[in-house]
Amino acid sequence: MTQHSAQTFPSRFGALEQYSDFARETELERAETINARPFSEIVAFYDAMLPLLPEALDYLNTFDVKLLPREEANLLRLCLAMVEASMAVELFEDTNPKYLMPIRRFFPEHDKWAKDAAKRAGATA
């Protein structure tokens, strides 16, 4: 787990800064991060996020999802990572179960759309 010098999340969620590396932009990047970590790190992340998830979602619901400030967008991505990590913790008890498709073969179409939209928005700004 990495810590960044700049604040990554809204101040009321500062205790989650140590997990900022999980707040990747796309589902594929988050899945790769989760799958590359020891299971014990994923469990620690899950255990830290689980009690804060309802508060984080309530907080994020006060914003327009299309206009999230940077820190709130990072928090949303961290919540997504927690939900994605929950499969490893709750169902498989492993980050890389051998009976699942390798993560490198997985490419969610919504990630491509999100990246393309971000590029278009950057070109018009």
Split into its structural domains, the chain has a count of: 1
Place of tokens 């255990």: 47
Within a domain: 9:
no
Q: Is residue 41 part of a domain?
A: yes
Rounded CA separation 29/9 (Å):
19
Give which of 87, 78, 84, 88 is closest to 15, Cα–Cα. Answer: 78
Q: How far is CA 52 from CA 18, 22, 33, 82, 107, in A?
A: 14, 15, 21, 11, 29
> Would residue 40 count as lying in a domain?
yes
Helix (H, G, I), strand (E, B) or coil at 7: coil
38: pLDDT strictly greater than 90: yes
Mean pLDDT, rounded, for 17-42:
92
Give 92's pLDDT tier (boundaries 50, 70, 90): confident
**Domain residue limits at 52:** 14-124
93 inside domain: yes
Task: Report whether pLDDT(28) > 90.
Answer: no
pLDDT of residue 13: 95
Q: Answer whether residue 109 is part of any domain.
A: yes
Asked whether residue 66 is assigned to any structural domain, the reply reads: yes
The answer to whether residue 7 sits within a structural domain is no
Q: What is the pLDDT of residues 54-88, one digit of tens each?
A: 999 999 999 998 899 999 999 999 999 999 899 88
Residue 110 placed within a domain: yes
